[in-house]
Amino acid sequence: ICATENAISALGKVIQYHKKSLDIGSEIQKWISYLPTASKDEETDVIFNQFCNFAKLYPAHVFGENFEVLGHMLTLITDAFQSPQVTHETQELLTQTLQDIHTNSPP
């Protein structure tokens, strides 16, 4: 069963706004497991905006403690740049996320 973009976005919002009552690591990993989205709709931009937010706040949960899932995350970011639904503002956040990865990842 594929989660819809609305459900993925809703789960992201729960993580964003109720983080104190959640196991953040587990919930972010669950949320990421639904990516990439099957279709591209208006929630696509929201989802990638959430991705950037989670990457900035919880990089170890998004990329792995030692960046072991970095390849998969870079694929998601590439997918985002190719999506016509992703706004210029979110593309700027994605660019900043790539810069943060470059700065913080091991050589």
pLDDT digits (tens, 9 = 90+) for 2-40: 568 899 999 999 999 998 999 999 999 999 999 988 777
Tell me the CB-side half-sphere exposure of residue 82, using CA atoms within 13 A. 9
Measuring CA to CA, how many Å separate 49 from each of 43, 56, 106? 10, 11, 25
Residue 3: per-residue pLDDT: 61
- Sign of the C-alpha dihedral, residues 38, 79, 84, 46? positive
Residue 107 has pLDDT above 90, yes or no: no
Domain count across the chain: 1
**pLDDT tens figures, 39-90:** 777 889 999 999 999 999 999 999 999 999 999 999 999 999 999 999 999 9
Amino acid 10 reads A
Residue 18: per-residue pLDDT: 94
Residue 1: per-residue pLDDT: 40
- Supply the range of the domain harboring residue 9: 5-104
Q: Which residues contact 25 (CB under 8 A, 6 or more apart)?
A: 58, 60, 61
